[in-house]
């Protein structure tokens, strides 16, 4: 049952979302009888040499692709990005200190809510004033005197705003990079901890990739329950308990795929091309489509736009779907349309969507 590209839709869903066909095919081929062991990986002990190798290769793959420096640990932790919203303040926000947060949209809002359950939070920027269509100028951000860290969501998946530059602050930046990880290089000097739910750019849901500096691990309090403590995940090499083996295996395959394609440099180039293709159609049909996002901060991963009214938004989504382009409905909290164009979305997908956008505007404008 080999699938080909022509069997597949262009999947513009925000996450879970499209993954490389080559990766899915390799996983399908290898699943029942992994490397002639007579069993699949997900049926084997996580202490077996096969599974341990997969974890080592996935870790090395992430290190190579993302050029992760030696002083940063690479962890795979169950619970997705959402679990990190709480785990971060529990480990990084000691009594007597506070945490700085930038409120740039729906995902940072959730991170802030969990941090508030743990300790004091300062909002350095509140995007609700501008309906989350813009971001603060990086040079305007100063950390609070008692801040332990500054949290940012590098790409707000729902609102479609993406940081270009990060502030220069004297506290470590903690970043939720769920919906952009591996799509552009990272300046590690600024970051103490980076995390990403796997299901946008690197694999299946249910697992977060966490990059954490040793100096942050050193500060984790000793009185946390076992699973909540980063230091224990480091000690256990991401096998503190029975780990999400399938997710990590898929991440390994995605890293292999990315390397073969040309790595982050390739992904970044692709993201530029795909996003430009779509934003150009919005601009070309200006008046019909509107992108609410400040041009400086338009996301290269999630392109949000509206047609003249909600009925046309719905017709757009339905007609595109009928033509093999799915998942274009905007998030229920904001409406409109959204095209998520992660690494595995071929350029042809963006081109097909842009042609459809032009035709739809001509017909309904």
Ligand X SMILES: *Cc1c(COP(=O)(O)O)cnc(C)c1O
Q: How far apart are the first and last CA of the chain?
A: 43
Q: One of 100, 114, 190, 200 is an active-site residue; which one?
A: 200
Q: How many chain residues touch ligand X (CB under 6 A)? A: 13
Please tell me the distance from the alpha carbon of residue 261 to that of residue 94, in angstroms, as a whole number: 43
Please tell me the distance from the alpha carbon of residue 113 to that of residue 78, in angstroms, as a whole number: 20
Query: Which of 10, 15, 75, 247 contacts ligand X by CB under 6 A?
Result: 15
Please tell me the distance from the alpha carbon of residue 94 to that of residue 106, in angstroms, as a whole number: 26
165 is catalytic: no
* Contact mark string toward ligand X, 55..84, x via CB under 6 A: -------------------------xxx--
Please tell me the distance from the alpha carbon of residue 365 to that of residue 362, in angstroms, as a whole number: 5
Tokens of 210: 């966490």
183 near ligand X, rule: CB under 6 A: no
**Collapsed DSSP state (helix, strand, coil) of residue 122:** strand
Least CB distance to ligand X at residue 138 (A):
19
The Cα-based distances of 154 to 163, 190, 365 in angstroms read 5, 13, 35
153 near ligand X, rule: CB under 6 A: yes
Least CB distance to ligand X at residue 118 (A):
17
Tokens of 176: 């939720």
200 is catalytic: yes
* Contact mark string toward ligand X, 320..359, x via CB under 6 A: ----------------------------------------
Neighbours of 25 (CB within 10 A): 15
176 is catalytic: yes
Identify the residue whose tokens are 């940012």. Answer: 152
User: Of the two residues 80 and 89, which places its CB atom closer to ligand X in the complex?
Assistant: 80
179 near ligand X, rule: CB under 6 A: yes
178 near ligand X, rule: CB under 6 A: yes
Which residues does the annotation mark as catalytic? 107, 176, 200
- Interaction site with ligand X (CB under 6 A): 15, 80-82, 107, 153, 157, 176, 178-179, 197, 200, 205
């Amino acid at each position: 049952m080999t699938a080909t590209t022509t069997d597949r839709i262009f999947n513009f869903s925000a996450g879970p979302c499209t993954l490389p066909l080559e990766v899915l095919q390799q996983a399908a081929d290898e699943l029942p009888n992994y490397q002639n062991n007579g069993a699949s990986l997900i049926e084997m002990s996580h202490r077996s040499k096969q599974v341990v190798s997969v974890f080592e290769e996935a870790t090395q793959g992430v290190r190579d692709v993302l050029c992760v420096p030696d002083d940063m640990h690479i962890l795979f932790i169950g619970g997705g990005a959402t679990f990190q919203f709480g785990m971060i303040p529990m480990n990084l926000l000691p009594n007597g200190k506070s945490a700085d947060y930038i409120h740039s949209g729906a995902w940072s809002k959730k991170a802030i809510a969990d941090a508030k359950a743990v300790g004091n939070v300062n909002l350095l920027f509140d995007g609700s004033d501008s309906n989350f269509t813009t971001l603060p100028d990086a040079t305007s951000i100063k950390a609070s005197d008692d801040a332990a860290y500054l949290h940012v969501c590098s790409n707000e998946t729902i609102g479609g705003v993406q940081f270009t530059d990060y502030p220069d602050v004297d506290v470590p930046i903690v970043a939720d990079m769920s919906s952009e990880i591996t799509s552009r290089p990272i300046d590690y000097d600024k970051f103490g901890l980076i995390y990403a739910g796997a299901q946008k750019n690197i694999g299946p849901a249910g697992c977060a990739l966490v990059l954490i500096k040793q100096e942050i691990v050193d500060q984790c309090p000793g009185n946390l329950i076992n699973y909540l403590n980063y230091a224990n995940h480091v000690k256990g090499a991401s096998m503190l308990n029975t780990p999400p083996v399938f997710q990590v295996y898929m991440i390994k395959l995605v890293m292999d795929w990315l390397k073969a394609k040309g790595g982050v440099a390739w992904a970044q180039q692709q993201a530029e091309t795909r996003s430009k293709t779509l934003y150009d159609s919005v601009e070309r049909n200006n008046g019909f489509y509107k992108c609410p996002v400040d041009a400086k901060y338009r996301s290269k991963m999630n392109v949000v736009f509206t047609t003249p009214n909600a009925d046309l938004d719905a017709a757009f989504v339905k007609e595109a779907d009928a033509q093999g382009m799915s998942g274009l409905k905007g998030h229920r909290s904001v409406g409109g349309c959204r095209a998520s164009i992660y690494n595995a979305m071929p350029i042809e997908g963006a081109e097909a969507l842009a042609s459809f956008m032009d035709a739809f505007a001509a017909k309904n404008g």
